[in-house]
Amino acid sequence: MTSPPEAPRGPLHDASEAFALLDAWDRQGRDQVARANAIQSRLQALRVSVWSPGHEVAVTVDHTGLVVDLEFTDRALDRGPAALGETITRTARSALEQLAVQAEEQVVDAVGEGDALGRSAIAHYRSSLLGAAEDQGR
């Protein structure tokens, strides 16, 4: 008579190994949340102002890429409405491009260049911002 096969040993068959695995997952989750919070706080603090090449207009965008301020100099008054509108649009696009660069720098500062969560955040942010910049150019 043969004996029944021995049950495989694994994390779910040994309570201490299962608890160790759960503890590791918990630590990993807390670490990811901390990194995500670090990224979020760095990005939310961003605000970028860019002047047009002729210094007619300054455009300020917040961390989401929304225009939160426009500043005009007397030179802006010398431009026609269409030219001024084009200057504002080009300057806003430049502000978004600069925001994407600064966002990447902040993410790398927060979590490091090789961090998978950081790389994902940078890719998403660049796609969102630069897509908005392309839409403004249409």
Instruction: Give the CATH number, domain containing residue 90.
Output: 3.30.1310.10
133 band by pLDDT with thresholds 50, 70 and 90: low
Query: Which pLDDT belongs to residue 9?
Result: 57
* pTM greater than the 0.85 cutoff: no
Residue 5 lies in a domain: no
Domain range for 29 is 15-137
Residue 70 lies in a domain: yes
Question: Of 25-29, 37-41, 43-47, 134-138, which range is least confident?
Answer: 134-138
Query: Which pLDDT belongs to residue 3?
Result: 63
Domain count, the chain: 1
Closest C-alpha among 13, 19, 96 to residue 59: 96
pLDDT, mean of residues 54-58:
97
Query: Which pLDDT belongs to residue 110?
Result: 92
